[in-house]
């Protein structure tokens, strides 16, 4: 079985520690590399990432997004480069229409950018095929220069942690089905993530969020 690390036949800025994580992600989510997927990588840089994705997924359509005009030179058959900001409203609307199967955010790593992009694009993920959203270099959550900081509620890591609560909100709103006494504050409203978040995984420097194929039966409005 081909490993994702073997797709990188050139210099890459991607951390080598990420390769076994990707092998684990792809193998544990039933991803067949020979199938046709629509994949977006945010952050093209020297182009090694989009070329590796093309090599690993030879029948897929690969998209790359970057703010630098020179990244357009990495465009080739089955690799489409879009120039623009990952927090541009027009760009996000354009990307949402494509309904990607897999999205990898290796872009600006600025905390505000990371979660803004996630909030917009996760909703348009095509979960019928895969529905995976992957965020790299989450260590910038702890760096003030990137708008983060340890336990900073506005950091990416803290916002993604909060999704765990969203996933389990039905236990607060519908305590009877959980066989527990009612809680105060059971007027908590249902959220999109309660309905559609299947799981969230935290690796060293990487977060993986999986979208459900069907709305959760536990997410009932009150």
Cα separation, 73 vs 46, in Å, equals: 10
DSSP character at residue 136: E
Beta strands in 99-196 (DSSP E): 102-105, 132-136
Cα separation, 60 vs 93, in Å, equals: 22
Q: 55: number of CA atoms within 13 Å, CB side? A: 15
Domains recognised in the chain with CATH numbers: 4-211 (3.40.50.150)
DSSP track, 23-85: HHHHHHTT--TTS--EEEEE--TTSHHHHHHHHHSTTSEEEEEES-GGGGGG-BTTEEEEES-
Strand 102-105, strand 38-42: pairing: parallel
pTM equals: 0.89
**What tens-digit pLDDT sequence spans the chain (222 residues)?**
677 777 766 555 566 788 889 999 998 888 999 999 999 999 999 999 999 999 999 999 999 999 999 999 999 999 999 999 999 999 999 999 999 999 999 999 999 999 999 999 999 999 998 999 999 999 999 999 999 999 999 999 999 999 998 888 777 665 555 544 555 555 566 788 888 999 999 999 999 999 999 877 565 544
DSSP character at residue 209: E
Cα separation, 96 vs 201, in Å, equals: 23
Cα separation, 80 vs 180, in Å, equals: 52
103 CB-contact burial (10 Å; exposed 0-12 / middle 13-18 / buried 19+): buried
């Amino acid at each position: 079985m081909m490993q994702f690390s073997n797709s990188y036949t050139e210099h890459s800025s991607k951390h080598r520690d990420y390769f076994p994580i990707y092998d684990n992600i792809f193998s544990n989510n039933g991803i067949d590399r020979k199938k046709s997927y629509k994949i977006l990588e945010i952050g093209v840089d020297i182009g090694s990432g989009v070329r590796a994705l093309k090599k690993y997924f030879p029948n897929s359509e690969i998209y790359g997004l970057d703010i630098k005009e020179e990244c357009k030179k990495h465009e080739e058959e089955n690799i489409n480069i879009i120039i623009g900001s990952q927090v541009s409203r027009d760009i996000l609307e354009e990307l949402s229409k494509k309904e990607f199967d897999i999205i990898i955010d290796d872009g600006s790593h600025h905390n505000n950018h990371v979660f803004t992009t996630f909030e917009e694009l996760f909703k348009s993920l095509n979960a019928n095929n895969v529905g995976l959203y992957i965020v790299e270099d989450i260590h910038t959550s702890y760096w003030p220069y990137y708008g983060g900081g340890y336990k900073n509620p506005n950091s990416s890591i803290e916002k993604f942690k909060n999704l765990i609560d969203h996933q389990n909100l039905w236990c607060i709103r519908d305590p009877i089905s959980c066989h527990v006494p009612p809680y105060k504050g059971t007027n908590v409203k249902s959220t999109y993530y309660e309905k559609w978040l299947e799981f969230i995984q935290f690796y060293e420097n990487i977060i993986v969020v999986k979208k459900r194929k069907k709305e959760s039966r536990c997410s009932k409005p009150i």
